[in-house]
Amino acid sequence: MKSSEFTKYSVISRNSFNDRDILIIEDSEPSSLRINSLLNKMGFKKIHLSHTAASGLYQFEELIKAGKTPIVFLDFLPETDILSIVKIIHQIYLETKIILFSRYESHDDKIIKMISDGIYRSLKTPISQNDINQLMHNIESDESYTDVEPLVDLKLEDLLTKKSNITFEDIKSCGIDIDEETHQIIEELKNKNFIVENNDVTLPSCTKCSSTNLNSKHVCVICHKSKFQKKSLVEHYDCGNISSHDTYVSDICPSCKKPINALGVDYRILKNFVCLECNSSFSEPNLIFSCNQCQNNFELNDANWKITKSYSVL
């Protein structure tokens, strides 16, 4: 039995990879019709054709607004510079896969440069059915549509039973990984009264991969180890002694043996944390994030921030 058959959330239907929207930006009509028919043969039906960069970008934006995450096929258009189109597309939706039609081999310097600038793959024209099949299978396995499917329901069940407040990103990280599918699952969870939408929340996100699937820990500001104690330090103004509160036995300064009486007059309470590794004291520990997606570590100050939808579990 598949694990997905166990959970009450398995009523949520999911799209298959073939339901993915595809946007072809190609000025030559015969070429775009040809690609269209190759994709049709693979079972793709939601194909959008555009013959100029401007109309392509417009269609792309409309698809994103509608919660879709199209795969983009792009030809070397005469009127615009490819990299500026790639940049605009990625500004709208960073994870977009852009496939470039070109007359160059994939190991050509021009193509290698383009791949480092964000192109997903290039296909050398003329393009065969085999090229398209291979490409789409690569994308499918990169996005692991099939492998994680049975796990999604279990993770979703786990999330919805353990937490009372969840975010779009929480649902996405149940192994769905694709915005469009996540939107769809959320719609169904809402329709079936499993969740209800709340105010948006702002989450820290990874500086490298922008994932919000992060672990956090508090660490010593000096040695970055996470072994410290909350301790109030007392500074005696008169003699300058700084030591922890418990060294002032009966309110007597351990250094000059004079009594300390009034806070703010005789003494002040200084720093609140003492590192048990390096003995440093500090007023506030640093917050460090480690990304569960790419293992990147970064500090709170450097984090990127993402506004995301949040929901209450009913």
Residues making contact with Zn ion (CB under 5 A): 206, 208-209, 211, 220, 222-223, 236, 239, 241, 253, 255-256, 275, 277-278, 280, 291, 293-294, 296
Query: Closest CB to Zn ion among 47 and 253?
Result: 253
Query: Closest CB to Zn ion among 286 and 296?
Result: 296
Buried b (16+ CB within 10 A) or exposed e, 63-82: bbeeebbbbbbbbebeebeb
What's the closest the beta carbon of residue 203 comes to Zn ion, in angstroms? 13
Length of the chain: 314
What's the closest the beta carbon of residue 52 comes to Zn ion, in angstroms? 36
What's the closest the beta carbon of residue 108 comes to Zn ion, in angstroms? 31
* 228 neighbors 246 (Cβ within 8 angstroms): no
Buried b (16+ CB within 10 A) or exposed e, 236-264: beeeebbbbeeebeeeebeeeeeebeeee
Query: Closest CB to Zn ion among 133 and 290?
Result: 290
What's the closest the beta carbon of residue 249 comes to Zn ion, in angstroms? 13
Greatest CA separation found in the chain? 94
Query: Closest CB to Zn ion among 65 and 257?
Result: 257
Query: Closest CB to Zn ion among 108 and 266?
Result: 266
What's the closest the beta carbon of residue 205 comes to Zn ion, in angstroms? 8
Q: In what order do the strands lie in the sheet with 195-197?
A: 165-167, 310-313, 195-197
* 289 neighbors 141 (Cβ within 8 angstroms): no
What's the closest the beta carbon of residue 27 comes to Zn ion, in angstroms? 37
Query: Closest CB to Zn ion among 211 and 244?
Result: 211
Query: Closest CB to Zn ion among 156 and 234?
Result: 234
Tell me how far the alpha carbon of residue 283 is from its chain's centroid: 31
Other CB atoms within 10 A of residue 203 CB: 19
What's the closest the beta carbon of residue 246 comes to Zn ion, in angstroms? 15
Residue 184, H or E segment: helix 179-191
**SS3 of residue 205 by DSSP:** strand
**SS3 of residue 166 by DSSP:** strand
